[in-house]
Amino acid sequence: MSSAVRAGAAATPVKPGRARLRIPTRTPHQAAAEAGSGRLGGRLAGVPWALPAVLFVGVLLVYPFFRSVYGSFFDDNGFTSHYVGLDNYTRLIDDPIFGRSLLNTVLWVAGTLLLPVLVGLAIAVATHRMRRGRIAQLVVVLPYAISGAATAVLWKFILTSDGTLNQVLRAVGLDSLARPWLLEWPASTISMIVASTWQATGLNVVLFAIGLRAIPRDTVEAAELDGATGWRMFRHITLPQLRSMSVVVVGMAVVNSLKAFDMVWILTQGGPARSSETLALTMYREAFLLFHVGYGSAIALVLSVIVVACSWLYLRRQMPGTSPR
């Protein structure tokens, strides 16, 4: 290969008066060293550097993952265990709580995609060139600085039967709309998605605002010269230009909604009667509270497969250069 490079270099005509390109070449000694004779500095040169990271990932991620997969084939109560094959997985199919949990998780994914992403985009676009738009953005971003747990506590005051929301509804004569938001399904799950939206929208506004600033000014000016304004500008210029940022925002929304936990745990603890549990919460309850470790591992595996599959499929689809031919 190196000789071909040298030959190519020799064959390249050089125009008079123009600086000659310096083409890197290797001596036969260097080429021999690359062939690898077991000496450090060859292909294995990077191994010692990568080893700590490989060990770290192996111990903290790969081993626990495969250990969980292995554990899901056992009926394990934390103290004794015996092999049950695929029983834990067949139990999942018959378990109505798992079914409800899966449905709630789907609701979380759909809700989180619809609400925080769309609201975040709308606020970012509306405030992009607005006077004092940054102040408006700051107000929306503030809830993101609050922890998920604190947000949940705050929303508990709002959503309980005697909470602020029902008090306001009754005060304005909308008594018929007042309800025990956290006690009825699906109102409980939807309420929690709204609470989560209140917090998560701020980050999306920031990301979309960054995306909007990255749009080249000449592109916008060209579109304006062509008469594009308002919705047409948004549809044909802004939205396509924000595509890369949308990929990140939507991807994060999907993963975060699939692992929804803290908000649900503090507001309802998955109740009443386990009606508002998500997959992450069902896994936690089964594995760590009821000590059905094997069954919990099976749920964890199902959740992991869903998270990775969704992320993988979504990202592959969003990468034009990597879509199937």
Partner 1 sequence: MTGRHPPVSARERTIYTTAAAARPSRRGLLRAAVAGAAATAATPLLAACGTAVGEPPGKVALHGDNPGWAAPLKAAGAAMRSVDGVRLVPEVIPSLESFEQVVKSSLRTSKTPDLLKYWSGYRLQDLARTGGIVELEEEWERAERKGWVDPSLRSAFTYRGRVHGLPMNLAYWVFYYNPAVFRDHGLTKPTTWDAFLKAADRLKRAGITPLHATTSGRWPSFIWFQEMLSRQDPQFYDALMNGRARYTDPRTERAMRTIASFADKGWFTSLDMDQATAAAAMVHGKVGMVPGATWLSTSFTGVGGKVGENVDTFVLPMQDPKAKPAMIFESSALVCTVKGPDHIEALRASGAWLHPKVAKAFSHTLQDGSPNPLVPPANAMIAGVAETVRHGKLRLLNRFWELGPPELVESTVDDLAGFLLDPSAYRKTLTTMQGRADEAWKVWKEADA
Residue 240 sits in the site that holds partner 1 (CB under 8 A): yes
Q: Which two tokens stand for residue 257?
A: 């909604």
The DSSP symbol for 186 reads T
What SS3 class is residue 75? strand
Query: If we measure between CA atoms, which residue out of 32, 51, 50 comes closest to residue 42?
Result: 32
Determine the interface stretch with partner 1 among 4-12, 32-40, 106-114, 236-244 (rule: CB under 8 A).
Answer: 236-244
d(CA 32, CA 2): 11
Residues 146-205 that bind partner 1 (CB under 8 A): 160-162, 180, 182-184
Q: How far is the CB of 241 from partner 1 (least distance, A)?
A: 6
- Provide the residue type at 25 as one letter: T
Instruction: With beta carbons less than 8 A apart as the criterion, state whether 139 and 206 touch.
Output: no
Determine the interface stretch with partner 1 among 17-25, 100-108, 199-207, 301-309 (rule: CB under 8 A).
Answer: 301-309
Residue 66 sits in the site that holds partner 1 (CB under 8 A): no
Question: Among 211, 212, 294, 298, which residue interacts with partner 1 (rule: CB under 8 A)?
Answer: 211
- Sequential DSSP letters for 199-217: HHHHHHHHHHHHHHHTS-H
Query: If we measure between CA atoms, which residue out of 111, 150, 156 comes closest to residue 268?
Result: 156
161 CB contacts (<8 Å, ≥6 apart)? 179, 180, 181, 183
For partner 1, which is the closer residue by CB, 30 or 244? 244
94 has which bridge partners? none
35 CB contacts (<8 Å, ≥6 apart)? 42
Question: Among 107, 269, 294, 302, which residue interacts with partner 1 (rule: CB under 8 A)?
Answer: 269
Q: For partner 1, what does the binding mask look like between residues 95 and 134, x meaning CB under 8 A?
A: ----------------------------------------
Residue 248 sits in the site that holds partner 1 (CB under 8 A): yes
Residues near partner 1 (CB under 8 A) are 60-61, 64-65, 68, 78-79, 160-162, 180, 182-184, 211, 214-216, 219, 222, 237, 240-241, 243-245, 247-248, 251-252, 255-256, 258-259, 261, 269, 271-275, 280, 283-284, 287-291, 300, 303-304, 307-308, 311-312, 315, 318-322, 325
